[in-house]
């Protein structure tokens, strides 16, 4: 029995505590993984600052382009309205000139004066001036339409570039997001495993401490029993040995019930 107690004490004090990692090592690993998790979560939350700035610039450029196109379109509509008004006025003047020329020819054939012909020439000069104005406005209208077409083309190119850039950034961000989620999940699994391992190691350590205390208690009881038996024997009386053994066994059982820790 003493050999068994010594063997248990040797296992508890020797290689038993070396079979698992120390609590400080496990705490260090858990802390490191938790720091990595915080960094991953931070990367998930705010890793696209530069991309946001680029999108803000592109959106501003698109707004400017749309505003310029709207201004050009309004100016073109105003020029078109002026052209239509002048063309209508020019048509009215031409009708009036035609009427005056007809009246002048009628008066000339009947021997009348040339007042109607003079008025017709004045109106004709007005028509020529209006023709020049209409030509200028038409040219301006063409220039404005050309500018509108260029702005529209630039806007379409900018929109296409923005969509392409957005698609690339979204694809890159989704890939990085999935990678971070995978790493986060792996780290959480590692933390859970290490915490379970640490809890198991604590239970094992407590069990070995109890076994060591039990072994030391058994050794002490054996020594006390041996000493009492030796004392009783040395005082004489073979018949008293069995009584002493019975008394010692009873005392030992009572002491075990009082002192032995629960395993």
**Domain limits, the chain:** 2-259
Question: Residue 227: left if φ>0, alpha if ψ -120 to 50, beta else—which one?
Answer: alpha
pLDDT tens, position by position, 106-116: 655 554 455 55
| Own/partner long-range contacts of 217-224 (Cβ < 8 Å, ≥24 apart) | 217/256, 217/259, 217/260, 218/1, 218/5, 219/2, 219/5, 219/6, 219/9, 221/252, 221/255, 221/256, 222/1, 222/2, 222/5
Would you say the pTM of this structure is higher than 0.85? no
Query: Given the structure tokens 């696209």, which residue do they identify?
Result: 48
List the structure tokens of 99.
């009427």
Is residue 152 over pLDDT 60?
A: yes
Q: What sign has the CA pseudo-torsion 243, 248, 253, 254? A: positive
The CATH class of the 2-259 domain is mainly alpha
pLDDT band of residue 9 (cuts 50, 70, 90) is very low
What is residue 229's three-state secondary structure?
helix
Query: Given the structure tokens 């007042």, which residue do they identify?
Result: 115
pLDDT band of residue 236 (cuts 50, 70, 90) is low
- For residues 196 and 38, what is the distance between their CA atoms, to the nearest angstrom? 21
Rounded to 10 deg, the angle between the 49-110 and 115-234 helix axes is 170
- For residues 30 and 192, what is the distance between their CA atoms, to the nearest angstrom? 9
Is residue 19 over pLDDT 50?
A: no
- For residues 38 and 149, what is the distance between their CA atoms, to the nearest angstrom? 52
pLDDT at 50: 56
pLDDT at 20: 41
What is residue 126's three-state secondary structure?
helix
Is residue 7 over pLDDT 50?
A: no
């Amino acid at each position: 029995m003493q050999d068994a107690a010594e063997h248990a004490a040797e296992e508890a004090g020797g290689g038993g505590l070396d079979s698992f990692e120390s609590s400080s090592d496990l705490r260090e690993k858990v802390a490191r993984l938790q720091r990595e998790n915080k960094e991953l979560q931070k990367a998930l939350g705010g890793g696209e600052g530069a991309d946001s700035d680029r999108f803000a610039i592109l959106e501003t450029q698109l707004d400017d382009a749309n505003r310029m196109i709207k201004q050009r379109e309004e100016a073109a509509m105003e020029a078109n309205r002026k052209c239509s008004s002048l063309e209508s006025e020019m048509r009215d003047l031409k009708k009036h000139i035609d009427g005056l020329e007809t009246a002048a020819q009628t008066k000339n054939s009947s021997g009348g004066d040339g007042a109607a012909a003079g008025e017709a020439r004045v109106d004709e000069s007005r028509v020529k001036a209006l023709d020049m104005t209409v030509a200028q406005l038409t040219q301006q209208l063409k220039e404005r339409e050309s500018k509108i077409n260029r702005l529209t083309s630039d806007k379409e190119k900018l929109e296409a570039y923005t969509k392409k850039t957005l698609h690339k950034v979204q694809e890159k961000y989704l890939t990085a997001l999935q990678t971070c989620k995978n790493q986060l999940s792996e780290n959480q699994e590692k933390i859970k495993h290490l915490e379970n391992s640490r809890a198991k190691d604590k239970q094992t350590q407590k069990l070995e401490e109890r076994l060591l205390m039990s072994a030391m208690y058994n050794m002490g009881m054996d020594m006390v029993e041996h000493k009492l038996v030796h004392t009783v024997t040395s005082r004489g009386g073979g018949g008293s040995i069995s009584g002493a053994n019975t008394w010692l066994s009873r005392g030992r059982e009572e002491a075990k019930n009082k002192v032995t820790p629960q395993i």
